[in-house]
């Protein structure tokens, strides 16, 4: 396999060639200076004296200087490309950010700045395209709310056996639209670098469980909360609540009648939902976080966006959506540096 090109290797090889050529030229100049030629070195003693002279006054000093010069040259080369390496490390450190990533050219050498500026312009255009896409999605979601509200009012007056089911469908559509608008707001806040607020996960869990308790009772299921102390993270309360609600609704669908869905919070920014279903493997979770993919127990009339929305909300908070098939849990893990309690 061909080795990738390296600026350091190229500059080192170039300096080696320059050094070698300089040494050769130095020997030629010295030979001319001392008028050394093959014609007057025929005498063995003269030849030995000439070699001794060159070794003592030329070759030995050059040999002594070669190592420190080589080390100094390599240090100089690495120092020259260090801004490029630091810029790459800074970008890698912001891998979780989707907007506003730029190459800092403050310490860049003049020769590398055009390249870095070109990358920043490309990143700016990508951010602009993403902002337009988010604004378009938010506008569509906003426009859909009005007709759905009117449809709900019409269904409330409808006396038909299917009216209740249709009202439930419309309610789910409205909640999905609300979640999409919430995601757009999260992205906008993130792009504007708005400071998130402190959110108590235990408090959010209690509120969401209270909202879903009537649904659980209708399905013959129980809800439980395991939270001994406040667990505080930085984020948006509405978004975290929406993510948790999605997980609990999935757990209610996966649990058999008479089962229990348990929500627990733990130190380090963890909130988990445990059900009595079969659990999800890591591969299954990775597939279900893609749009339009559903678990076997999922509602067939949904948009297939539940876990995809949860994963997107967690990514916006710098956290992850994880699974433990053995414990039959789905977990929202927030970054440790943003959690306390």
What is the domain-level CATH number for residue 188?
1.10.287.130
- Pairing mode, strands 320-324 and 329-333: antiparallel
Domain-embedded: residue 87: no
Q: Return the higher-pLDDT residue of 28 and 316.
A: 316
Same domain? 237 vs 335: yes
Q: Distance between alpha carbon 222 and the CA centroid of its chain, in Å?
A: 37
How many Å apart are CA 71 and CA 135, to the nearest integer?
55
* DSSP three-state, residue 63: helix
Task: Say whether both 330 and 210 belong to one domain.
Answer: yes
Q: What is d(CA 166, CA 172) in angstroms, rounded to the nearest whole number? A: 10
| Pairing assessment for the beta strands 260-266 and 222-226 based on DSSP bridges | parallel
Cβ–Cβ contacts within 10 Å for residue 106, how many?
6
Residue-wise pLDDT for 227-268, tens only, equals 878 889 988 888 899 889 989 988 998 888 889 999 999 988
pLDDT of 211 > 60? The answer is: yes
- Whether the CB-CB separation of 333 and 322 falls below 8 Å is answered with yes
Query: What share of the chain has pLDDT > 70, as a percent?
Result: 78
**Per-residue pLDDT at 270:** 93
Decide if 108 is inside a domain: no
From the CB of residue 264, how many other CB atoms can be counted at a distance below 10 Å? 20
Clarify whether residues 218 and 326 are in a common domain: yes
Inform me whether the pLDDT recorded for 331 exceeds 80.
yes
Half-sphere exposure (Cβ direction) of 114: Cα atoms closer than 13 Å:
1
Q: Are residues 204 and 341 in the same domain?
A: yes
* Residue 276's CATH number: 3.30.565.10
Q: Are strands 232-235 and 197-200 parallel, antiparallel or unpaired?
A: antiparallel
Within a domain: 339: yes
Scanning 94-159, the segments in alpha helix (DSSP H) are 113-156
User: Residue 33 domain-assigned?
Assistant: yes
For residue 110, how many other CB atoms are within 10 A of its CB?
6
Which segments of 34-59 does DSSP mark as H helices, in order?
A: 44-54
**Which pLDDT tens digit goes with each residue over 276-294?**
888 888 888 888 777 544 4
Q: What does the alpha-carbon distance between residue 87 and residue 181 come to, in Å, rounded to a whole number?
A: 34
As to burial, measured by CB atoms within 10 angstroms (0-12 exposed, 13-18 middle, 19+ buried), residue 160 is exposed
Query: Do both 207 and 309 map to the same domain?
Result: yes
Report whether pLDDT(326) > 80: yes
316 — pLDDT class (breaks 50, 70, 90): confident
Domain ends where: 194, 210, 225?
A: 194
Please say which residue of 135, 164, 194 terminates a domain. Answer: 194
Indicate if 216 and 334 belong to the same structural domain.
Answer: yes
Q: Are residues 180 and 227 in the same domain?
A: no
Whole-number average pLDDT of the chain: 77
**Model confidence band, residue 333 (pLDDT cutoffs 50, 70, 90):** very high
Q: Quick one: 188 and 234 in the same domain?
A: no
User: Within this chain, do residues 317 and 235 fall inside the same structural domain, yes or no?
Assistant: yes
The number of folded domains in the chain is 3
Domain contains 333: yes
Sheet holding 232-235, edge to edge: 197-200, 232-235, 339-340
The domain boundary residue, chosen from 145, 161, 194: 194
Residue 167 has pLDDT above 90, yes or no: no
Average pLDDT over residues 79-93: 75
Does some domain include residue 237?
yes
Query: Is residue 112, in this structure, part of any structural domain at all?
Result: no
Same domain, 178 and 209: no
Residue 238 vs residue 94, higher pLDDT = 238
At residue 175, the pLDDT reads 76
The answer to whether residue 317 is domain-embedded is yes
- Structure confidence by residue, pLDDT tens digits, 99-115: 677 877 777 777 778 88
Q: Domain check: are 227 and 178 in the same one? A: no
What range does the domain containing 247 cover? 196-341
Residues 221 and 170 reside in one and the same domain: no
């Amino acid at each position: 396999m061909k080795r990738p090109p390296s600026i350091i290797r190229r500059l080192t090889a170039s300096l080696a060639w320059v050094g070698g050529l300089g040494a050769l030229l130095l020997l030629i100049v010295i030979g001319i200076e001392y008028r050394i030629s093959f014609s007057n070195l025929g005498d063995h003693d003269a030849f030995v004296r000439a070699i001794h002279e060159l070794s003592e006054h030329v070759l030995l000093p050059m040999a002594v200087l070669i190592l420190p010069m080589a080390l100094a040259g390599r240090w100089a080369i690495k120092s020259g490309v260090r801004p490029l390496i630091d810029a790459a490390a800074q970008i890698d450190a912001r891998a979780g950010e989707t907007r506003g990533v730029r190459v800092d050219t403050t310490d860049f050498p003049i020769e590398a700045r055009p390249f870095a500026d070109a990358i920043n312009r490309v990143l700016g255009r990508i951010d602009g395209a993403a902002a337009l896409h988010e604004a378009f999605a938010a506008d569509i979601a906003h426009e859909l709310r009005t007709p759905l509200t009117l449809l709900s009012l019409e269904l409330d007056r409808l006396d038909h056996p299917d009216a209740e089911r249709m009202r439930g469908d419309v309610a789910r559509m409205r909640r999905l639209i609300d979640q999409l608008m919430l995601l757009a707001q999260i992205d906008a806040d993130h792009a504007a670098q708005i400071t998130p607020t402190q959110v108590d996960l235990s408090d959010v869990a209690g509120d969401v469980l209270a909202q879903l308790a009537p649904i659980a009772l209708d399905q013959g299921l129980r809800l439980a909360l395991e939270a001994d102390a406040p667990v505080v993270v930085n984020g948006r309360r509405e978004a975290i609540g929406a993510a948790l609600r999605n997980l609990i609704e999935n757990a209610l669908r996966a649990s058999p009648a008479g089962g229990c869905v348990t929500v627990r919070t733990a130190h380090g920014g963890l909130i988990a939902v445990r059900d009595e279903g079969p659990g999800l493997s890591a591969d299954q979770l990775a597939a279900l976080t893609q749009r339009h993919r559903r678990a076997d127990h999922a509602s067939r009339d949904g948009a297939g966006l539940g876990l995809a929305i949860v994963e997107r909300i967690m990514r916006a908070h710098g956290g992850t959506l994880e699974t433990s098939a053995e414990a039959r849990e789905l977990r929202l893990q927030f970054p440790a540096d943003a959690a306390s309690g």
